[in-house]
Structure 1
């Protein structure tokens, strides 16, 4: 698997929404026991999944040796695409493509660089080379959903790529229902809906409820179930275990008009209410709410600090109910 971004631990955790046994092996590269190609297409921080032929040292001749030794049961035309991940290896990708292409031709394959039946990917990172057939690529259309381009926009909206990743970490996908109890303009819900989840939003401001409904209708249409209600995140109008996952972006202390002690009460109570309605969740904030999450009945399975810009670091807690 070819990872995106600069945080391999975060990308690998998201990749587990589509793969089993994910393990990073070099900067930007991971291997897995099995992948679901349909789910790979909905990942934010994975670019490509390969049916691995083999692993080698980071040089073109070693990559060719993998192709020569591998058992190949494919028919049709082929193309070879080589890439150095994050400029982490001093390797000629053109030479790698020539060497691996020649090995395939010797094995009876015809090359078609424009519209091949199969694409062989050769990925170099650090001292590692992974060689395999492309089985899935993520749909990287996040720029088509920039917050400023939505029907309803408010400053401070999360980037779609990050919103997709957080939704995936919370278990978004077909047959799942995802809740955002502080949904704002609905960015997380849009991304969860686009990977097949039914989505439910909640916000205390009627303006946000109307705007999020407009955004969800625009991007999701009738493809998945979606609704937004006005309500209090600390007292949701939902039964116990009503949803499969919860994601919310807590108010940021420096930007919020809420007093500090009131903000503490709000987030603590929202965490407890989220644990009542869902077995897993993701909390995003400008500080770590680990103690409050534990007190609310959650177990913190993973945590990350993700720099957005010089003055903002997002703290991400991945949660499972005790």
Structure 2
């Protein structure tokens, strides 16, 4: 059994994304989940899971209970250890320093040497609400999203999606080694960058020459030398220059507002036709928008397997639709 520590406060969304790297994910407390199996390599590319633990046990939110787990557990590890305790979302009245002392003492009593600077193994004791997970860290996600802030890219336009969210949406669409991911309205290429960084080949499309050129520049900057294939096309999202089933997943951020800036299309027609074209080229997808497109997605040949409303700021709520071809 494994424990998962989530990032942020949208546990249902985090759990769904965690499902690309873990099997049998079950939420047990705010910010905490358990899983039957974990792929450490895939977990490293998750946005909303911080780390995975090989669980020694699960108990109530009491330092003495956590120590009892360490004392009773079968431990087959060798080398130095460190204990790190954390309370998630201020949801438990626990002294983390006391927990680290108690569990560290239990490990020393079992013959382990403590190394707080560079341990061979780290024991995490995580508290949330009335629950506690105790386990060895076996995988951690790479938290380097701030290095790719939209304003720091070679090509920037206002309204670009945050890298952490782009990564999560790419993961939900099936990004990963051996996959090919399409963004048919790619803008500055943020989703494609994140999909490429977890090993996907990427295909971008945008109706505006300026955006297509800028996305190519950004992809070259972040993915150059990575070994992933990348291509960006200037074209119409409702009539893609791609064969049927050309990609494994599609992600796009629909235009916001009531009208499309693309000639010949009302916004309803643009998004509806783009959804139908996406269903032609991919078996799964994620649509992000400023309102629900559930009915349009179904009409376009998709099944909406999950949906979320995610607040970006006071005036913007993103509607996320997780899609599978019907």
TM interval, short-chain normalised: over 0.9
Unaligned runs of 5+ in 2: none
TM-score, reference length from structure 1: 0.98
Match of 2:248 among 244, 250, 254: 244
Deviations 1:65-104 (A, max 9, x none): 1111111110000000000001000000000001100110
- Quickly say closer, same or farther: Cα 1:210–1:76, change in 2 above 3 A: same
Deviations 1:13-45 (A, max 9, x none): 000010000010000000000000011110000
1:176 aligns with 2:163: no
Matches within 5 A, 1:311-322: 311-322=315-326
Instruction: Please give the alpha-carbon distance, in whole angstroms, between the structure 2 residues aligned to 1:92 and 1:254.
Output: 52
Q: 2:308 is matched with which residue?
A: 304
RMSD over equivalenced CA pairs, Å:
1.3
Q: 2:126 is matched with which residue?
A: 123
Q: 1:144 is matched with which residue?
A: 147
- Quickly say closer, same or farther: Cα 1:226–1:105, change in 2 above 3 A: same
Q: 1:213 is matched with which residue?
A: 216
User: How far off its partner does 1:222 sit?
Assistant: 2.8
1:107 aligns with 2:110: yes
Q: 1:276 is matched with which residue?
A: 280
TM-score, reference length from structure 2: 0.97
Unaligned runs of 5+ in 1: none
Q: 1:95 is matched with which residue?
A: 98
User: Are 2:259 and 2:266, in contact at CA under 8 Å, matched by a contact in 1?
Assistant: no
Instruction: Please give the alpha-carbon distance, in whole angstroms, between the structure 1 residues aligned to 2:260 and 2:201.
Output: 30
Matches within 5 A, 1:61-76: 61-76=64-79
Pick which of 257-266 and 95-104 moved more: 257-266
User: How far off its partner does 1:182 sit?
Assistant: 0.2
User: Are 1:298 and 1:321, in contact at CA under 8 Å, matched by a contact in 2?
Assistant: yes
Instruction: Please give the alpha-carbon distance, in whole angstroms, between the structure 1 residues aligned to 2:219 and 2:73.
Output: 47
Matched residue of 2:268: which SS? helix
Q: 1:202 is matched with which residue?
A: 205
Q: 1:47 is matched with which residue?
A: 50
Instruction: Please give the alpha-carbon distance, in whole angstroms, between the structure 2 residues aligned to 1:143 and 1:254.
Output: 32
